[in-house]
Structures are given as structure tokens and as C-alpha cells.
Amino acid sequence: MKKIILWTALISVVTLFIGACAKRDDATVTATAVTCDRTASGSITIGSDTVSSSYLMDTPNTPETGCYAMTSTGFPTGTQSISQQRIITSSTSFVDYVGYFSDTACATGISYLYQKYSSLSVVGEVTGLSTLSGSRPSSAYKVTYKSDCATAKGEIDAGTEALNYQYSNTGVYLTTGTEQTFSTEVTQSTYNIWATEDNGSVISFYNGDDSQTDYPSGWNNNDTNYVK
């Protein structure tokens, strides 16, 4: 049941990820040369647990690779598989990676994006959450963070077109084959809930549904999950 719910979530989660930055209207960012470190470093404390290093998107694959063969109208044209990863870069920052590929094994790239978030704050615990038939924990921690910067590259024209649409309000214009790093800094906080779980063989990092207005009231089938 857990894997079925996670599979249902994958298309919605990544489609939402495509529009997450383009639709922010609280700030228009001028494209300037910036540094956007994505090196795994430090750890983030979530209640009595910590998350560190990097986590792969949870998929039905065994062993887990973070790659999944799938298509969606929300993806760049020609996408046959996607890969996602979360990288912890300090006690108050993290990076979300997503890559789109034209084959089913995540080998031939269409585009990729590393989106960094900073000013992370873990606020407090929430309990009594629905576990969605046992696929999620019954408690989580409220978190806030802000979009900071991004590194992106369109490896073919379809990927470049999708990225330019996503970041159309930043003043950034990408060209195919060139990696670009730019600011996505905004004043608006993102609200979410996080949780962790260690079953002895897999560490799960649960991530709720991003909101610009308030903390999610619980888990839903559009949430994603990372593992290592």
C-alpha cells in the first residue's frame, strides 16, 4: 500500500515542483552572478532525529536509485524518466534536485535543476496526523524556509524551454547547453511539515506539501518521500 500511494504522488509532486518558483509573485529577482553551494554538509535536527548528507526520491524500485520511468504533461517534452534528490547543505539550508531524461534509465539528460532553500527553521511538533494507511508517520515537525538560489541547465532545447518558463519572473534566460546559477531569493516563507523514520535498514525523510500561507494540516497523496 505504501508504494502505491507513493507512486500516485510522484506525478503530482514533480509537476508542482516545476511551477513552484515561477508562480511566486512576492518578488521579482534580477539575474546576477551568485554562488549557490550544493555540497552535502552539516545536518538538520528534526525533533530527536537528524537528517544529513543526501536522500533519494522513494520509488517502487529495489534497490532505490532515485530514478523512475514515467511521463507527464507537466514535464519537458520527451521526458521518459525523472530523478529527484534532497541534499542537506547546512543546519539551515538544503537543495532539491530534479533531473529529466529522454530514456527510461535516467541516462540521457533533457534538463536538470538544483533549487536551494535557506533560512530553515524547525518550529514545533504536530501529532495525531493521518498515516494514510500506514504509509506516513502520525507526527511531524513544522518547518519554514525560503527560496534562495538555483543552478540549472537545459541539455536540449525542450529542457531549456521548460526552465525558462519556470523562472520567467527572475530575469534569467537560459541557453541550451550552458549551466547557469542565479538568485531566486524571496521574502515569502514556505511552510511545510517534515518527519523522519528509521526501520533499521532504510531512513525515510517525509516531506509535506509546500504552502505559502500556512502549515499543512496533515499528509496527503501529493506529498513526496526521500530515503537513504
Instruction: List per-residue pLDDT tens for the chain, 228 residues long.
Output: 444 344 444 544 444 444 444 444 444 444 456 899 999 999 999 999 999 999 999 998 888 999 999 999 999 999 999 999 999 999 999 999 999 999 999 999 999 999 999 999 999 999 999 999 989 999 999 999 999 999 999 999 999 999 999 998 888 999 999 999 999 999 999 999 999 999 989 999 999 999 999 999 999 987 889 999
DSSP β-bridge partners for residue 90:
93
**pLDDT digits over 147-198, tens only?**
999 999 999 999 999 999 999 888 899 999 999 999 999 999 999 999 999 9
Measured between its terminal Cα atoms, the distance across the chain in Å is 20
Measure Cα distances from 97 to 14, 27, 67, 87, 126 in Å. Answer: 11, 23, 12, 8, 27
Domain boundaries in the chain?
Answer: 2-227
CB 64 within 8 A of CB 227: yes
Can you tell me which residue has the cell 539528460?
109
CB 17 within 8 A of CB 190: no
Instruction: Please tell me the pTM assigned to this model.
Output: 0.86
DSSP β-bridge partners for residue 100:
82, 111
